[in-house]
Structure 1
């Protein structure tokens, strides 16, 4: 499966910084919204330069790596763009991680500078930052870091004359680490721009639309939203409220996980609340048809797909339907199956795994990335009555186990469990069994208690008997479930501790 077609309207090859391109062509257009604040493309360009000047004054320059420990906010967005402007790379890290996890990532990055948003300043003392210099931004006349206020003379801090180079490292994003230690994936600007261009050939987003930054920038799905914004010259909206209904009331596009969509549909009041949403890109888990059907009845398109960090987010996509498939390959990507093993390559594939300034290849000798996922293609009917070879994900090769001589892919069981109306998240693991070798057990995040007998009744016509879990464990509160997906390795450690 491949799709390397080029649409003439795809202006992937920018000759200058994307925000400067839009500032020159549409200077007065609103580009960024945060609550009541609005920024035109001209203002975005000016503010990126202002932040770049401050970074230059603190020693940041071309080729430097900056670690930023922060949730999504305006300042970290300015920091990311300002680093690009200087030819540096800002790596955003999840502040909800343990200090041990953060230190592992900092050791990989060997960052020369570090920045923490105000709520995260308390963890600074516990971080092994290899002597990285702490960065600070000045707003108004003074700046405060950890309670100490300092003044800066910005007149002497001029932005280096760095030229736009689409091949320069533009991001480093850590994989989820669900199958072991997280890897640091490096992408250049071209990777991100081609990723955006390929998706937006199918998933329409124009300069007149607004996309909510609803996913974290330390995840490739969140960073991809920023690059789609930069590619299309549309509008980006940062959440200024905790209410998902209010966040989505003023935007046309959003990237959500199914639990967010479920919450939105349950909380929205069709008689009172405004619905401006046109399209939702869903990811991270199985998508119940009942949710997408309800969204469709409200005039909202839901799209699903398959992607990964290494490919700068989405690889395949489709308009969500009753099929469990994940759609067809997007433009500028290629995908092949080798004994059901999924391999991918294309213009969005990252430039390597990063470790302390060194890039290691991600691919085989023919440029293919072996994903570790297993899949197959099936001929399916589309909404337009066309027959297409759609990709179906079977699971990961390293998650498969054998029960009574049968190959079991946990992901197949998880998809069915997630169709239960009371189950929000589910992971399936093998449990040693004297008779069958292994039997499946499930860890679930559910509303209320679900017994084995209740679940067996639910699964009776949905799963073959040997695939039905023999026990269910409630996901402990100590395991973070606020991310895009559960970390399988972390939950596996907890399951292993139960069996000791």
Structure 2
């Protein structure tokens, strides 16, 4: 679909009084949503916000965050959404490169920019719809832990949404829970699928998942969340779940199917506004085929990508730094291979290490360990070793009460001997990096420093 106006205005013209958005227990029609957005946009403009201005948006997911996002878009702002838990020293290094004028702080604290507030004004605020205008700046750390901001236009976000909806039905009477934060590209993906489909979206303050999902037909979850939901006594209306974040057991997809829930999985990057390849989950290790509008190559074992959803570049000091190589492709540094026309991601090329002459791809080991019911996430990092060169160490985040001492016995028979971790450690809170992707480099430095003391 090609919009000629802001998507929420387009849907107001189609069905003004149809429910569009559930904010906690309040339901807004497309007409009422437009009125709220235009009032906020007028308020932002009254405070001095102009088209092209950079705005720091500091907030967790809640109704105010969603409304602020739409109003900032309608003002033509360039939005940098940031996790309020991001460490202040990192913000102090990062933000001066982002060319920002204002900060809208809904959670947390930041004094370094002119503050915006959520005061509404009468009248229809905002600027004309220009789909190619730069709209979002999303932090990505890659494998280095050094945040960069990938910049997308509205057109790129809509192209991303169109590809996912070509695989995953989401009709105008369906309702997707905004279960992922807008400071992650996966959360933005949910937002733009809603706007493209003209369906419904639900935004709720922090609640147990079962309560948050009440009345929702679609959700984006990790396998652990879906397991808990299926094993609970809660009655849910889910039709479809987009899974991410870990290996997906066949038993999980079968159990979901028996309850009428279709499950999907895929592969995505911040630079491509979320999902690039996807499939209906079938327990196989591949991540499916390229979605419409995406091109994928494997060159010398490395995955290269092009897509309509690709970012315009990385933002630094008012300029866009290019993403593509000399051939016009984005070289992902992911190792991949084609199997029966479907792409399998083997892991990061940068992460491969050798132990006693045996190559260890951390992601391969992690996929197996992540199937343990008490492990929420796991990282395999190399520990320097005089005899073997390097040995694998597991750094895990577990369920409360989990017995980490039992894990070495559990992996026997599941992993080759050279793949089995020689140490198991709990992921420190300070290395979670405020919600940005955990830095493997920082983990490796921490592990090696821990055993040199």
Shorter chain as normaliser: what TM range? over 0.9
Please give the per-residue CA displacement for 1:103-126, whole angstroms capped at 9, x wherever unaligned.
233122121001111x41xx324x
Could you tell me how far 1:75 is from its partner in structure 2? Answer: 1.8
Task: Check the 8 A contact 2:54/2:100 in 1, yes or no.
Answer: yes
Other-structure match for 1:339: 300
Q: How does 1:17-96 map to 2 (within 5 A)?
A: 17-96=6-85
Please give the per-residue CA displacement for 1:60-97, whole angstroms capped at 9, x wherever unaligned.
01110110111112222222211221211222100011
For residues 263 and 433 of structure 2, the distance between their equivalents in structure 1, rounded to whole angstroms, comes to: 23
For residues 463 and 424 of structure 1, the distance between their equivalents in structure 2, rounded to whole angstroms, comes to: 19
Other-structure match for 1:301: 262
Could you tell me how far 1:366 is from its partner in structure 2? Answer: 2.7
Query: TM-score, normalised to structure 1's length?
Result: 0.86
Other-structure match for 1:223: 188
Other-structure match for 1:496: 448
Task: Check the 8 A contact 1:285/1:485 in 2, yes or no.
Answer: no
Q: Indicate how the Cα distance of structure 1 residues 238 and 484 shifts in structure 2: closer, same or farther if over 3 A, else same.
A: farther
Asked if 1:159 is matched to 2:125, the reply is yes
Could you tell me how far 1:403 is from its partner in structure 2? Answer: 1.4
Task: Check the 8 A contact 1:303/1:317 in 2, yes or no.
Answer: yes
Q: Indicate how the Cα distance of structure 1 residues 480 and 430 shifts in structure 2: closer, same or farther if over 3 A, else same.
A: closer
Could you tell me how far 1:99 is from its partner in structure 2? Answer: 0.5
Could you tell me how far 1:243 is from its partner in structure 2? Answer: 1.1
Aligned partner of residue 68 in structure 2, secondary structure: helix
Other-structure match for 1:97: 86
Task: Check the 8 A contact 2:61/2:205 in 1, yes or no.
Answer: no
Could you tell me how far 1:177 is from its partner in structure 2? Answer: 4.5
Aligned partner of residue 367 in structure 2, secondary structure: helix
Other-structure match for 1:145: none
For residues 262 and 492 of structure 1, the distance between their equivalents in structure 2, rounded to whole angstroms, comes to: 31
Could you tell me how far 1:487 is from its partner in structure 2? Answer: 4.1
Could you tell me how far 1:281 is from its partner in structure 2? Answer: 0.4
Other-structure match for 1:276: 237
Other-structure match for 1:328: 289
Task: Check the 8 A contact 2:39/2:124 in 1, yes or no.
Answer: no
For residues 302 and 158 of structure 1, the distance between their equivalents in structure 2, rounded to whole angstroms, comes to: 41
Other-structure match for 1:364: 325
Please give the per-residue CA displacement for 1:216-245, whole angstroms capped at 9, x wherever unaligned.
000000011111111110001002451101
Root-mean-square deviation (CA, aligned residues, Å) is 1.9
For residues 365 and 194 of structure 1, the distance between their equivalents in structure 2, rounded to whole angstroms, comes to: 24
Task: Check the 8 A contact 2:294/2:308 in 1, yes or no.
Answer: yes
Asked if 1:405 is matched to 2:357, the reply is yes
Could you tell me how far 1:461 is from its partner in structure 2? Answer: 3.2
Q: Indicate how the Cα distance of structure 1 residues 56 and 21 shifts in structure 2: closer, same or farther if over 3 A, else same.
A: same
Uncovered stretches (5+) of structure 2, i.e. residues with no partner: none
Aligned partner of residue 393 in structure 1, secondary structure: strand
Task: Check the 8 A contact 2:145/2:438 in 1, yes or no.
Answer: no
For residues 176 and 261 of structure 1, the distance between their equivalents in structure 2, rounded to whole angstroms, comes to: 27
Please give the per-residue CA displacement for 1:26-63, whole angstroms capped at 9, x wherever unaligned.
11111000222010111111111101100110110111
For residues 344 and 225 of structure 1, the distance between their equivalents in structure 2, rounded to whole angstroms, comes to: 22
For residues 338 and 204 of structure 2, the distance between their equivalents in structure 1, rounded to whole angstroms, comes to: 38
For residues 196 and 131 of structure 2, the distance between their equivalents in structure 1, rounded to whole angstroms, comes to: 13
Uncovered stretches (5+) of structure 1, i.e. residues with no partner: 1-10, 140-153, 380-388
Could you tell me how far 1:484 is from its partner in structure 2? Answer: 8.2
For residues 489 and 104 of structure 1, the distance between their equivalents in structure 2, rounded to whole angstroms, comes to: 18
Could you tell me how far 1:457 is from its partner in structure 2? Answer: 4.2
For residues 47 and 477 of structure 1, the distance between their equivalents in structure 2, rounded to whole angstroms, comes to: 38
Q: Indicate how the Cα distance of structure 1 residues 213 and 22 shifts in structure 2: closer, same or farther if over 3 A, else same.
A: same
For residues 350 and 125 of structure 2, the distance between their equivalents in structure 1, rounded to whole angstroms, comes to: 48
Asked if 1:179 is matched to 2:160, the reply is no
Q: Indicate how the Cα distance of structure 1 residues 80 and 355 shifts in structure 2: closer, same or farther if over 3 A, else same.
A: same
Task: Check the 8 A contact 2:16/2:29 in 1, yes or no.
Answer: yes
Task: Check the 8 A contact 1:249/1:277 in 2, yes or no.
Answer: no
Task: Check the 8 A contact 1:326/1:393 in 2, yes or no.
Answer: yes
Size of the aligned set, in residue pairs, is 450
For residues 423 and 80 of structure 1, the distance between their equivalents in structure 2, rounded to whole angstroms, comes to: 34
For residues 481 and 426 of structure 1, the distance between their equivalents in structure 2, rounded to whole angstroms, comes to: 15
For residues 211 and 145 of structure 2, the distance between their equivalents in structure 1, rounded to whole angstroms, comes to: 38
Could you tell me how far 1:209 is from its partner in structure 2? Answer: 0.5
1:116 is aligned, of 105, 110, 113, to 105
Other-structure match for 1:259: 224
Task: Check the 8 A contact 1:284/1:484 in 2, yes or no.
Answer: no
Q: Indicate how the Cα distance of structure 1 residues 114 and 482 shifts in structure 2: closer, same or farther if over 3 A, else same.
A: closer
Comparing 342-351 with 178-187, which one deviates more in the overlay? 178-187
2:118 is aligned, of 137, 151, 162, to 137
Other-structure match for 2:427: 475
For residues 172 and 94 of structure 2, the distance between their equivalents in structure 1, rounded to whole angstroms, comes to: 36
Aligned partner of residue 110 in structure 2, secondary structure: helix
Asked if 1:198 is matched to 2:152, the reply is no
Could you tell me how far 1:324 is from its partner in structure 2? Answer: 1.1
